[in-house]
Structure 1
């Protein structure tokens, strides 16, 4: 090698080290000039600002500098109210910029630009704000494990397409952020640009994908100092009107209430809801549930989804417990029947306080109170009725302390408490969690210890503990894990858990490519082994080996394959519905292959066949999920999903009689159809359609008796009809108009019905007709929410 080549190589390596290893620094400039958020960037102050440029590809070809044809320049200003961001996103083919108009927090097929802000510069949590080329806002709270897009801040933005590309202008009030009260601020900062037609993402500060952690690889924002932030006090009054009718009755309901958001200081915020109204939240997907456990439902109520990252630590919080089903059944005599049993408990009010101190201590407090609830019982002899309490006045409480340190590690304490008035069941659960990472984010050691205490007729306690060690960077990564759960560990008053009383060992090893190859943009293969032993009997509860392959082709088509082998028989300790009994599950093998074609195409298609084959005569489960989607233009799209499952010679519990625990060998079919449609009038106003039809049946053809050893023998004496035929229909058509920041008018037409009986009907069209012939409920509602900033009102008066 010549001297010139050696010198050139040295400077190349030095350049690479400085470009990819050091954090970039951007200086924010103070302004007193009024900044209009119009996407024009024509205020004089912008010309004097420093520029963030030289973006570097995040994926798929990590580390590659952005092309000069896609040059990106970003500037930041600030005043006492907000920070302002201007981004010029050059594109040599502006007519090819993808710009689908979507609902808020839905990316769709659009280019987008985002800023990630960490007000404490602790490498732990980002506040992320996205704007698409169609002007749609997306925002989230991000930690390494996840992005929470249910969090919605109030901020302003504007995007316009130009002859050189497109431009974004953003105003992010300090009320949407969290930071210390230091005189001189130093924030973690990164910008990201996604060019959708090429499926490429670029960041300002290089994010090395060999390192598992993304947030600590942000750049630095300096220059913000001596800011005097305004009072963070916001009121969101609402009013709504509902008209409901079914075959039995009709009626009109009016509601009004208030949400309050108050910034206790720059770090902590109080949220409260008074007289809550969740009438327009998304419907629950009802199913034919033949499992020994309750159906776990998604949370759709904004108060319990927005900014709840602290409360979700440790997995002790299942928010559907608050205002969910009553916790007890009424006691009735032989001549009585229950004529009214409310399916849910009314929420009276809820409040949460959350934030993080300058030294990294996160504090979260949530409290909610639900109403005393009664069931109505009728004496069939006298026709007299009486009421019995099935859920008393109940208080739910969560307290979280989460201390971050060394940029990427934390120790957390969580306590949940459920207190029911009177002699009803109370519960208290505490957890200590730790997550320790090396400075270079190469290795991680994390685990927990959780303790539950239940106060009921017979008090009992339980615990759960786990320890995990992982290599979290590079092409080759692995995880080793161990867990122990005692028999009486119970978090179901405010959390949700199904399986207890076991210990397990788990191992995972994976390989991934970090840059594109001749065939793939991304490729990852994982190998997993899991063993679960039931504590009391020492029997194998789970024992499987799994291979998962995930890949994206150069044409941005996605493929996923999984193979799961259970080479040993296992035992189910829950399906018998009787303590101490268990069911033998035969050896089995399961697999699926998923395909998702390029989402950038106007027409795209998902396709996933699957099967599970049992080592038992004639027993097999197979299914098919497929989902065509067509985007007619940037405003209008339709998406249909068919999910079909057939279980042949499935076995499950049906009854417990004098002859023992009765199982049935049965055939099952499950068909779910989902149709979603979107028409965007503009980026503030949309029409949305969501329709779901679900049909499932379970047809028993042989009855069996469970033996003490977990095996089943034929039962020729049992002859009751335990078949099930279940239909569920939901239809929502809604109009939404965000007429001002944080202010919305929404109109919803909804109808739904559920039909269930013991008579199997295998014709799909007949089932579809039957659900509409049942008691179909129709609801029409109008809701208005208006965002009021205390400072705006104060300034006017």
Structure 2
């Protein structure tokens, strides 16, 4: 009996699930006979001969009806480009176009998106989209489209799109160079899907019928593009991207001024149709756009997303290991940051880097990364080499087995460098499960670290299996991290933990009324300390009721039952107040509500009040965002985060504010002005980042960025002020 149950489980995880597949036919044209002019008019004779595909399905508010207003797609290709013609029908031409800025978000506006799985693996895909104004967005999808982590809008490539707005439709004409894709020479079929947002009928529509328990960009539900003739070898140009950055600033706290000119650049080489070689020399990884601040009331570090172009393409191949919350062995933002002699995080210059990544064949991916950072003797920071090797082998329909090796090593001996910091290495293996229709998915890994003074307790492991049906979502998962496990290039919240975090969720779909669906879920999270005979150190039980209405508004209620045992004294206000005592356990319960209004409206907002116990006191919080737009040229968003913490004597009470208004002006599709003001009394900081960007050529930019930061501890005083003039240009050779 047990053997039969095990066999049923294996078959459920790996069997190919049949679904009816749509096809779109891609006509081959000869450019010397039928030259296509990308103008949105579709008046070339070749378009009249191309086959039309349509029959889009609703994804929201239901997934069982055809779209009210259909979208028509035609495709053609030649030896250089893929051409796409799209006609999106609508009730009228009263379209919502919030901004003219590239890489817009899909929600709350009219747009159409194309997804291309060029290796037919159901795991990775290229993503291109536009709106009625012809504003472009592109992204890389990884992980099969099973969660938002695999959606990377930071990727950029060159392509052309022009649109025309009609009385009751808009038309998009697109040319994407075949060099923008990676694919196998001689291929005759790609997997394909498309989705479209219709604000007037409040619909989200997809070409392939996708159930609502999946993401709209799921790679499990795709049709096929059938090419009229096999694809040839892609002759990708060499891309050279030099930059010059002039910088002038003053540090008021140390009464010192800085003036600098920095020159460097990147180079991109295509190796065959499916591999990339990226090189960088003296890269400028300074951010002309600052990170958005958050209020941190936890004991742990907060991870921030990677935005640097050198690390973006095929980033999942290097970074999608382990557990994203507790044990991610490679976190690329660690490169270029180091601890100084006072244990403070500061920028560490990068000398050069190289990265080879892509597909060796249809089922095997390879990634090799090596980056050299410079020494900083004054701050006791050694020169280090940071290297990663990753190999991923596809298994079954959409699963894969991956191997990882990480090495961070000082390139010479330093008197200030402790023995245990001379090198750190991690060796790991991960298995990612994804069934054909994504009913089953999971992640299973084991990693071992190596350092000069390790005690041998240096293993981390995890397991997660999730069943996802229309009504039920059940996850069984856990993580084990030994006390001496280290990954200096990773994101490890803490070690010496055994954690389980299952989730049980049920979704209701009312047949009538204002509610589109609502979901009840319970997520118990328990953590034990193996080194302390598995003493329970933490638990959080999250109970939630989430409601989505037919008009796209969202309402959520949550209850948090928590227990925290403090092994070290801790100031939860992070305001240098009296710390809570160590070796004490705290039980506390809180309640939270969230409401998000219809973001299609010119004015929209979300608000999240919470109330309840907090360690040995109480906490009252209010978070919210106010959004207003004068489309398509102006948007403003005001972030407000307020926490009032009331603790008994002798601990201090605290009112913690984070206020961040953002102003975004898009003069046209090439000229943008963005200003972000951030005030945090927790950090005693008032920061201003104002950035003018002129995209004077494809993927070529001129930035003027002004940064100003003040210490708000009375009296108000300047900390740092700077201005950057940065020019980058993308040459194709």
Question: Relative to 1, partners in 2 of residues 1:292 and 1:30: Cα closer, same or farther, differing over 3 Å?
Answer: same
Match of 1:562 among 552, 558, 562: 558
| Distance (whole Å) between structure 2 residues aligned to residue 513 and residue 358 of structure 1 | 43
Whether contact under 8 Å (1:124, 1:407) holds in the other structure is: no
Q: 1:275 to 1:527 in 2, by over 3 A?
A: same
Mapping of residues 342-741 of structure 1, within 5 Å? 343-375=346-378, 390-423=380-413, 424=417, 425=421, 426-456=423-453, 460-491=456-487, 493-513=488-508, 517-537=512-532, 538-566=534-562, 569-575=563-569, 583-614=583-614, 616=616, 619-649=617-647, 665-696=651-682, 726-741=683-698
Aligned-residue offset at 1:54:
1.1
Per the TM alignment, residue 147 of structure 1 is displaced from its structure 2 partner at its CA by: 0.8
Where does 1:190-209 land on structure 2 (aligned, <5 Å)? 190-209=193-212
CA distance in 2, matches of 1:596, 1:266: 44
Q: Give yes or no for contact 2:659–2:679 (8 Å, CA) kept in 1.
A: yes
* Deviations, residues 497-554 of structure 1 (Å, cap 9, x unaligned): 1222121333211112467742222322211122221112232112232112222212
Q: What SS class does the counterpart of residue 343 from structure 1 fall into?
A: strand
Q: Is the 8 A contact 1:105 1:139 kept in 2?
A: yes
CA–CA separation in structure 1 for the residues paired with 2:231 and 2:691: 46
Are 1:54 and 2:55 an aligned pair? yes
Task: Tell me the CA shift for residue 620 of structure 1.
Answer: 0.6
Three-state SS of the structure 2 residue aligned to 1:217 is coil
Deviations 1:476-507 (A, max 9, x none): 1201123322111122x101212221213332
Query: In structure 1, which of residues 774, 780, 784 is the aligned counterpart of residue 718 of structure 2?
Result: 774
The alignment partner of 1:135 has SS state of coil
**How far apart are the structure 2 equivalents of 1:451 and 1:576?**
30
1:477 and 1:284 mapped to 2: Cα distance? 34
TM-score for the superposition, normalised by structure 2: 0.87
Paired with 2:367 and 2:602, the residues of 1 have a C-alpha distance of 44
Do residues 219 (structure 1) and 162 (structure 2) align? Answer: no
Segments of 5+ residues of structure 2 without an aligned counterpart are 1-17, 322-327, 572-580
Deviations 1:532-588 (A, max 9, x none): 21112232112232112222212221112211113xx542335479xxx95323211
1:61-140 superposed matches below 5 A: 61-67=62-68, 70-94=69-93, 96-107=94-105, 109-140=108-139
- The equivalent of 1:233 in structure 2 is 238
Measure the CA separation in 2 of the matches of 1:608 and 1:288: 14
Shift of 1:780: 2.1
CA distance in 2, matches of 1:414, 1:575: 36
SS of the residue aligned with 1:536? helix
Structure-2 change in CA distance of 1:437 and 1:630 (3 Å):
closer
Kept after mapping to 2: 8 A contact 1:151/1:307 = no
Pair member with larger Rg: 1
CA deviations on 1:348-392 (whole Å, 9 max, x unpaired) are: 1122221123332121121111001122xxxxxxxxxxxxx6111
Inter-partner Cα distance in structure 1 for 2:468 and 2:194: 24
Tell me if structure 2 keeps the 8 A contact 1:645–1:669. Answer: yes
Between the aligned partners of 1:365 and 1:237, the Cα distance in structure 2 is 23
Structure having greater relative contact order (Cα 8 Å, sep ≥ 6) = 2
1:476–1:48 CA distance, 2 compared to 1 (3 A): same
* 2:460–2:482 CA contact under 8 A, matched in 1: yes
Alpha-carbon offset, residue 39 of structure 1: 1.0
2:266 pairs with 1:266: no
**SS of the residue 1:278 aligns to:** coil
8 Å contact from structure 1 (residues 452, 461) kept in 2 = no
Matched position secondary structure for 1:178: coil
* Paired residue secondary structure (1:309): helix
* Counterparts of 2:125 and 2:425, CA distance in 1: 31
Residues 74 and 454 of structure 1: CA distance in aligned 2, closer, same or farther (over 3 Å): same
Q: Distance in 1 between matches of 2:197 and 2:295?
A: 42
Q: Distance in 1 between matches of 2:469 and 2:116?
A: 24
Q: Structure 1 residue 264: deviation in Å?
A: 1.0
Q: Counterpart of 2:329?
A: 316
Q: Secondary structure at the match of 2:243?
A: strand
Match of residue 726 from structure 2: 783
Asked if the contact 2:58–2:203 (Cα under 8 Å) also holds between the matched residues in 1, the reply is: yes
Task: Measure the CA separation in 2 of the matches of 1:105 and 1:92.
Answer: 26
CA distance in 2, matches of 1:289, 1:564: 18
Two-structure CA RMSD over aligned residues (Å): 2.5
Moved over 6 A (4+): 286-291
Change in 2 beyond 3 A, CA 1:286/1:28: closer
Offset from partner CA, 1:202-242 (integer Å, 9 cap, x none) = 12222233567921210100115142422331111112222
- Contact 1:454 1:460 (C-alpha < 8 Å) held by counterparts: no
SS at match of 2:688: strand
Give the 3-state SS of the residue equivalent to 2:528 in structure 1. strand
- TM-score, length-scaled by structure 1: 0.81
Is the partner of 1:587 in helix, strand or coil? strand
- Cα shift readout 1:329-354 (whole Å, capped 9, x = no counterpart): 59xxxxxxxxxx99321111122221
Determine the structure 2 residue equivalent to 1:159.
163
* Contact 2:698/2:730, CA 8 A, preserved across alignment: yes
Kindly indicate whether the alpha-carbon contact (under 8 Å) linking 1:650 and 1:668 is maintained by their aligned counterparts in 2. Answer: no
Instruction: State whether residues 274 and 358 of structure 2, in contact with CA within 8 Å, keep that contact through their aligned partners in structure 1.
Output: yes
Distance in structure 2 (CA, Å) of the matches to 1:106 and 1:298:
17
Distance in structure 2 (CA, Å) of the matches to 1:615 and 1:274: 49
1:215 match: secondary structure: coil
Distance 1:203 1:614, change over 3 A: closer
| Alpha-carbon distance change, 432 to 613 in structure 1, aligned in 2, over 3 angstroms | same
Contact 1:291 1:575 in 2 (8 A): no
Provide the rounded CA distance (Å) in 1 between the counterparts of 2:303 and 2:712. Answer: 21
Please say if residues 282 and 300 of structure 1, whose CA atoms lie closer than 8 Å, have aligned partners that are also in contact: no
**Distance apart, 1:666 and its partner CA:** 2.4
Flag the 1:574–1:397 CA change in 2: closer, same or farther, 3 A. Answer: farther
Which residues of structure 1 form unaligned runs of 5+?
1-19, 331-340, 376-388, 652-663, 697-725, 757-766, 791-797
1:134–1:683 CA contact under 8 A, matched in 2:
no
> How many Å apart are 1:313 and its aligned residue?
1.3
SS of 1:310's equivalent?
Answer: helix
Cα distance, 1:650 vs. partner?
7.2
CA distance in 1 between partners of 2:570 and 2:495 (Å):
15
Q: How much does 1:690 deviate?
A: 0.9
Note closer, same or farther for the CA distance 1:507–1:608 as it changes in structure 2 (3 Å cut). same
SS in 2 for 1:320: helix
Q: Do residues 170 (structure 1) and 164 (structure 2) align?
A: no
- Match of 2:182, SS? coil
Kindly tell me: are residues 602 and 438 of structure 1, through their superposed partners in 2, closer, same or farther at Cα, counting changes over 3 Å?
Answer: closer
Partners of 1:606 and 1:140 lie apart in 2 by 26
Deviation at 1:263, TM superposition (A): 0.7
What is the alpha-carbon distance in structure 2 between the residues aligned to residue 603 and residue 468 of structure 1?
40
Task: Determine the structure 2 residue equivalent to 1:3.
Answer: none
Q: Alpha carbons of 1:199 and 1:542: their partners in 2 closer, same or farther (altered >3 Å)?
A: farther
Shift in alpha-carbon separation, 1:231–1:628, aligned structure 2, 3 A: closer
Contact 2:397 2:435 in 1 (8 A): no
* 2:316 match: secondary structure: coil
